[in-house]
Amino acid sequence: MLTVLADDVQLRAASLVARYDQPGPRYTSYPPVPRWSKAFGDADFLEALDATGPTDPFALYVHLPFCAARCFYCGCNAVVTARDEIVHRYLDRLDAQVQRIVERLGPGRRVTQLHWGGGTPNFLGIRAMDRTWRMLARHFDIAPDAELSVECDPRLTSSEQLHHLRRLGFSRVSFGVQDLDPDVQREIGRVQPAEMVREVIDWSRDAGFEGVNVDLVYGLPGQTVETLERTMDRVLEELHPDRVACFGYAHVPWAHPHQRQIDESHLPDGDARFGLFSRVVRRFTGAGYQWIGFDHFALPDDALAVAQREGRLHRNFMGYTTMPGDHLLGFGMSSISDVANRYAQADGSLTGWSKAMDAGQLGIVKGLSLTADEVRRRRAIMRLLCDLRIAKDDLPGDPTLAWRRLVPLAHDGLVELTGAEATVTPLGRYFLRNVCMAIDTALETGTARYSRTI
């Protein structure tokens, strides 16, 4: 598959940035979160749990929100604390939430995927990790071949911690690297020397992790093509990750006021962001990684790359995945569940979520029951995000109308329209969210504050 753009196409792409760099959904769900309803609550979520089949597999997401300090660029739902009792009280409530959901679902439901995200899951000490593991393993039947993954902050990682996670069964670890340039690290309030990152990655391999992922971010303050190239040199030569996720920094200080600590005059503009990301694509595909979706890269023998080649790739709130868990259950504050065609999100504030847990509730503050039409649209958009092609008959809504909306993108070289199928071109990979927006005929304009697509 051709993934690196020739120089003339690169130039053409740059000229399209001004037109296509606009706010848009990341499509980790369909419909996206801003379209969900605050009228959706605990009772609706319980109905969703009742609608699951007795042998349906589940994916579990556990939100562990604690961090030692707030990075300036952070877009996560995080809680900064140094107090152990806050963590332990959170775990008490998490335990209560798990029990409440299992009472409704019945014990021993099959789990094929488990992810601990945050925040910083490895802010938890070994005893707290054990406790979190036991509260899940006690109630769920975690399949022997389930994919168990965890996010770790290199600054807090110890070899002992990694060995312990491996003993619990975690086989994939993701490290937030973001950028290895010391000046960029200072600008984003997250200083972690490259030598430290290399050491924790070596420890992960010594501990027997089968997959080591590295998360990078483009569009950071002070980042230039030169600094990013140096970061990628070190990632490729010293870290050798199995997968790389490279996200665009979303500067939304109205939603995350701590981002005001970032000097906006040092942020790359749309053209520069595109230039940075196209370097990322060049370097990783040039080094033999397979480009997955729009922001992931995986070695060819990695399960994600194999799944994409075989048309088995999926996308959910945890990003691209190989595991088709029928339902996703989220635990903890701000977590999202996707069960029986209903989305449900828990309260994002620690106070609000804790109060709901103490009152014996589930803390659901928004969600959506998908209509049959939305289920069809979701399938179409997710297949396009994973397979990069879609049959005309599978286009959502009125297929003729959706097809017509793709014609301008075909003129710009982003898709190829044959008689029966729309295929995303190598150039269109950079604008994949825009291609999805074109067929998302229900997308509202101007109301929701999405991040930029480039």
CA-to-CA separations, 15 to 270, 274, 431, in angstroms, rounded:
11, 10, 13
Contact 298, 243 (CB under 8 A): yes
Check binding of 179 to ligand SF4 (CB under 6 A). no
Check binding of 120 to ligand SF4 (CB under 6 A). yes
Interface stretch with ligand SF4, choices 71-79, 101-109, 216-224, 338-346 (CB under 6 A): 71-79
Interface stretch with ligand SF4, choices 70-78, 84-92, 360-368, 374-382 (CB under 6 A): 70-78
User: How many chain residues bind ligand SF4 (CB under 6 A)?
Assistant: 11
Q: Which amino acid is at 416?
A: E
Nearer to ligand SF4, 48 or 79 (CB): 79
Q: How many residues does the chain have?
A: 454
**For the window 12-31, what string marks contact with ligand SF4 as x by the rule CB under 6 A?**
--------------------
Strands 296-298 and 314-316: unpaired
Least separation in angstroms between residue 71's CB and ligand SF4 is: 3
Least separation in angstroms between residue 159's CB and ligand SF4 is: 20
Nearer to ligand SF4, 118 or 211 (CB): 118
Site for ligand SF4 in 299-338 (CB under 6 A): none
Least separation in angstroms between residue 154's CB and ligand SF4 is: 10
Nearer to ligand SF4, 189 or 399 (CB): 189
In DSSP notation, 226-281 reads HHHHHHHHHIIIII--SEEEEEEP---TTT-GGGGGS-GGGS--HHHHHHHHHHHH
Burial classification of residue 443, based on how many CB atoms lie within 10 Å of its CB (0-12 exposed, 13-18 middle, 19 or more buried): middle
Least separation in angstroms between residue 78's CB and ligand SF4 is: 4
Check binding of 221 to ligand SF4 (CB under 6 A). no
Q: Which amino acid is at 68?
A: A
Check binding of 71 to ligand SF4 (CB under 6 A). yes
Contact 220, 181 (CB under 8 A): no
Structure tokens at 115: 């992810």
- CB atoms < 10 A from the CB of 216, how many? 23
Nearer to ligand SF4, 57 or 248 (CB): 248
Nearer to ligand SF4, 76 or 126 (CB): 76
Contact 65, 350 (CB under 8 A): yes
DSSP-derived letter for residue 289 is P
Contacts of 124 (CB under 8 A, 6+ apart): 64, 66, 87, 132
Nearer to ligand SF4, 215 or 242 (CB): 215
Residue of minimal Cβ distance to ligand SF4: 74
Site for ligand SF4 in 138-157 (CB under 6 A): 153
Contact 255, 285 (CB under 8 A): no
Least separation in angstroms between residue 213's CB and ligand SF4 is: 14
**Binding region for ligand SF4 (CB under 6 A):** 67, 70-71, 74, 76, 78, 118-120, 153, 176
